[in-house]
Amino acid sequence: MPLLAVQGLKAGYGVGPDILADVSIDVEAGRTYCVIGPNGAGKSTLLKTVAGIVKPRDGVITFDGASVGGLRPDQILRAGICFVPQDRTLFPQMSVRENLVMGGYLIRDRHRLNERLELVFEMFPRLAERSAQMAQTMSGGEQQLLALGRALMIEPKLMMIDEPSLGLAPRVTSQIFDVIRSLSRDLGITVLLIEQNVKKGLEVSDWAFVLDLGTKRFEGPAGEILDDPRIRDLYLGKLADRGGS
């Protein structure tokens, strides 16, 4: 049974139009998935809807056997799904340590909280060095590390990351992707990733979903998807595609 199963998902913002028209994807535990597609395809909206930030208008979301569609973000977090948004959304005036502690907000047991904190500092020595530094004074790459570290605090089963390389220099991007690779390899966390830097994103992933105009067009192994002729049609021929629909 897949860890995360999305069927027929429809969603939009406020009273606006449907951004997700009909999305169905299956995510197996322990693997890394990359969601790619042109701008406006609904990739971010998909992650936000699973995370509970956007309410679904139709469709089913099942995680670990339980239905999680329409639940509050904190309930979904408790179920084991973590979301790292595009702009990282850190607490600017809190220190690295305080940001990480906030990441463990739902953990009531102080011992477990401290254990997780130790673990994150071990995984990210850079963060340990700067533990007293205010988040807003850190570089883009460090902020992204902090965002990832914060997400790890509650021991998620599924981590959803929206464009981790956004605004980062190429060298830093590689480091971030090394971290993402180790999430799956060393910690066994399932990762669902959005990346505009398609090559890099696919390099760290096992499987790819291709979204356009609010639906999943096709999917396939990450290593082979770029050779699929449909990709070219999608990205290059998308004007014709959109004209048709």
Applying CB under 8 A, the residues found at the interface with another protein are 13-14, 51, 53, 72-74, 77-78, 83-85, 89-94, 102-106, 150, 154
The minimum distance between CB 159 and another protein, in angstroms, equals: 12
The percent of the chain in helix, strand and coil, each rounded to the nearest 5, is 40, 25, 35
The minimum distance between CB 70 and another protein, in angstroms, equals: 14
The minimum distance between CB 240 and another protein, in angstroms, equals: 23
The minimum distance between CB 153 and another protein, in angstroms, equals: 8
| Identity of the residue, 150 or 216, whose beta carbon is nearer to another protein in the bound complex | 150
| Identity of the residue, 14 or 170, whose beta carbon is nearer to another protein in the bound complex | 14
Which of the 8 DSSP states describes residue 133?
Answer: S
Which residues make beta-bridge pairs with 11?
20, 56
Handedness of CA 15, 9, 232, 84 (dihedral sign): positive
Nearest to 33 by CA among 152, 189, 174: 189
| Identity of the residue, 13 or 125, whose beta carbon is nearer to another protein in the bound complex | 13
The minimum distance between CB 74 and another protein, in angstroms, equals: 4
Which of the 8 DSSP states describes residue 244?
Answer: H
| Identity of the residue, 16 or 244, whose beta carbon is nearer to another protein in the bound complex | 16
| Identity of the residue, 105 or 122, whose beta carbon is nearer to another protein in the bound complex | 105
Cα dihedral 202, 204, 208, 210, rounded to 10, equals -40
Token pair in block for residue 190: 């399932």
